[in-house]
Chain A
Amino acid sequence: MAANLRVIGALGIRSVKQTFRRPQLMAPILLFPTLLLAIQVGGAGRGVELPGFPHVNGFLDFVLAGAMIQSTLLAGNSGGIALAVDIEMGFTDRLLAAPISRFAIVLGRLAGIALLGTLSALWFIAVGLTFGANIAEGVPGALVMILFVTLSAVAFGGIGAAVALRTGRASVVQGLFPLVFVILFLSSACFPANLMIEPAATVARYNPLSFIVEGVRDPVISSLSLHAFAKALGSIALIASISIGLSALALRRRLRTGG
């Protein structure tokens, strides 16, 4: 157990370092969501004046959670690309030959993505507070945001890992990049679902990503509610169990077939 935890920790730290060393992995996690956040706040900020928009201090309060979840989705994708590169370059084969738990290899990658999720949450909270956002629930609210963002990074990271392990090709995982935006645009990440255009509005109402975003947003724009908290946690648990389950299956298949 202790040995496995050491392996997971070492691989997690390696994964974070790898991301920081490669601009093409880091940029989608922090640079693009931050740019998009800044542009959306300036460009669509007057949207808060539309009838039906929830009461907020400013559009930044509303959209901050969306930027955080966008960042975790992209962190999951970047983590999958890095894992696929490891497979392409033979690094994963060397790990598989080592006397360590096979699934620790995947968990190590997910631990790294979780850490990136935490860093992303801290970054966006800092950016938000610097530019005038107000977290209604204060420090406990910020902790809930960090928790949800970290957990969702693991859940989305599992999807990237599953595709990387199943295909072993970075280009295929890279191909998921546009899909991230499709899922994001079909959720209430950037605008309230009731003010979106149909049929996206209907999809957004039932999209688990909307529940996660609303769980992160809830402590920013109102007081914490058990309902939003439970829906977010349930959605993360659902996505994580599916994605990590798929990763386990993909790993087993890779071990059985050798590629």
Chain B
Amino acid sequence: MSSVGWRADLQMIAALARRAANELLRVPGAAIPGVLAPTIFFLGIFAVFGHLSLLPGFTSKSYQSFLIPISLMQGAGFTGAATGVNLARDIEQGWFDRLLVSPAPRPVLLAGLVLSASLRSLIPATVLLVVGFSMGVHWPGIGGLAIAGLIVMGMGTIAACWGTAIALRFKSQSAAPLMQAGMFVLILTTTSYAPLALLTGWLHTVAKYNPATQIVEAVRQGFVGGVSWGDTWPGLLALAGLLVLLSALALRGMRRTAI
């Protein structure tokens, strides 16, 4: 592809990301559910299950530090799923059809949608970290924070790909619960409430094989102890795997969408 083509693609991606950012500026309330829901879950689950950290075998004495990675992932998941809901709205209102008749390649359109989700997922993460630190969450160090930020952006991208695939399949905002439920299940069927050894029944088995567990543990390491490459790479690998899988799914939906 020529450099002109690349430049046009990058401009298109930037324009779509800017459009999503504009929505945040013009409808500030649009960001509230993505911020509010994970914050309420963080405070609520800490208040309700905080004493689980007293169980023998629990890997951290600070339940809020143990929990914060889940809330960060949830924030990214909600934000990414919102991208799917917004896309479904654009499809219903015919705006997406206009985008499809533009000369922009489908992967470029997808990149524009998910890039905005990736950046937007840093908003709930920032709020959650501020709330978390004020509630006694341990400082993860610069390295731990950088890993958390990187993974949050990756998770936002994954959730946006999932939301996009669902939106393109159902072409209706009615599919919103499916977009949210998908991320909800992926994130919560990990070591969300307790370490793997303390999970019981079906959840122990599912969490053991759920790739998102590795992602959660990679974010968690800095908050409950030290950061090491050994605890980081499985998370990054799982993140990359999910990213490839879900972006392929979203791209397939894009390619199958006719005008």
Contacts and interface: CB of A to CB of B under 8 A. Distances in A.
A41 B177 contact: no
A30 to B, nearest CB: 11
B48 A200 contact: yes
A196 B46 CA distance: 9
Nearest to B178: A23
Interface centre among A40, A46, A200 (most CB of B within 10 A): A46
Interface in B24-52: 33, 36-37, 40-41, 43-52
Interface in A184-227: 184-186, 190-191, 195-197, 200-201
Interface in B166-188: 173-178, 181, 184-185, 188
B41 A181 contact: yes
* Range of interface residues on A (Cβ < 8 Å): 35 or more
A43 B206 CA distance: 11
Contact of A185 (B45, B188, B193): B45
Contacts of B48: 185, 190-191, 196-197, 200
Interface stretch (B4-12, B111-119, B194-202, B214-222): B194-202
A193 B207 CA distance: 28
Contacts of A186: 44, 47
B104 to A, nearest CB: 31
A39 B193 contact: yes
Contacts of B198: 46
A43 B192 contact: yes
* Range of interface residues on B (Cβ < 8 Å): 35 or more
A80 B168 CA distance: 29
Contacts of B50: 196-197
Nearest to B177: A27
Contacts of A99: none
A22 interface: yes
Contacts of A24: 173-174, 176-177
A47 interface: yes
Interface of B: 33, 36-37, 40-41, 43-52, 54-55, 173-178, 181, 184-185, 188-189, 192-194, 198-204, 206-207
What 10 A-B pairs come out closest when comparing CB atoms?
Answer: A42-B203, A185-B44, A43-B193, A27-B177, A200-B47, A197-B50, A45-B200, A39-B188, A191-B48, A197-B47
12 contacts: A31-B177, A31-B181, A32-B181, A35-B181, A39-B192, A39-B193, A39-B203, A42-B199, A46-B200, A185-B45, A195-B51, A197-B51
